[in-house]
Amino acid sequence: MEPHRLAILPRPTILIADDHSDFRDALTVLLEQEGYRVADANNGAEAVAYLQSGPPVSALIVDLDMPVMNGWDFIAACRQNATWRMIPTLVVTGMTIAERRHADVGDNITIVVKPLNFDDLVMTLRRVMIREVPKPTIG
């Protein structure tokens, strides 16, 4: 009988798009400690470039207020691509409840309000990534 072998799954890659390098750096360290690979972008245009040429991304963490291409424009660009529109997205923002209520955020987008609680962010990230994983078919 052949011994049971564990499959080694690739670590999910999270792309952080935020113009605050201190935030990106801190979040990168924390997410890597949780077992994720992390890529980062200073704005939406850099994030689009990464999606075009980098390895596949399992989730996005996006700030709305960025130079060059803001978070809303980045999300709109993602919606235009059949593959990118399926990537679970966490929007990290300081928007008020009223502003969030009027925002057109879409089905696969979850809003996380600043200031962040890291444990809540990680739990939310896990929840949206599990929700987006296709169910296996039997038969």
The mean pLDDT of the chain is 79
Whole-Å CA distances, 34 to 11, 29, 83: 10, 9, 25
Query: Containing domain of residue 85, as a range?
Result: 13-132
Asked if pLDDT for residue 33 goes beyond 80, the answer is: yes
pLDDT at 41: 94
CATH of the domain at 84: 3.40.50.2300
Top pLDDT among 13 and 102 is at 13
Residue pLDDT, tens place only, 119-139? 888 888 888 777 654 444 454
Give the bridge partners for 113, in sequence order: 93
Residue 78 lies in a domain: yes
Residue type present at position 20: H
Residue 137 lies in a domain: no
Residue 24 lies in a domain: yes
CA–CA distance, 30 with 125 (Å, rounded to integer): 13
Top pLDDT among 65 and 19 is at 19
Residue 1 lies in a domain: no
Residue 8 lies in a domain: no
pLDDT at 85: 85
CA–CA distance, 56 with 87 (Å, rounded to integer): 10
Residue 56 lies in a domain: yes
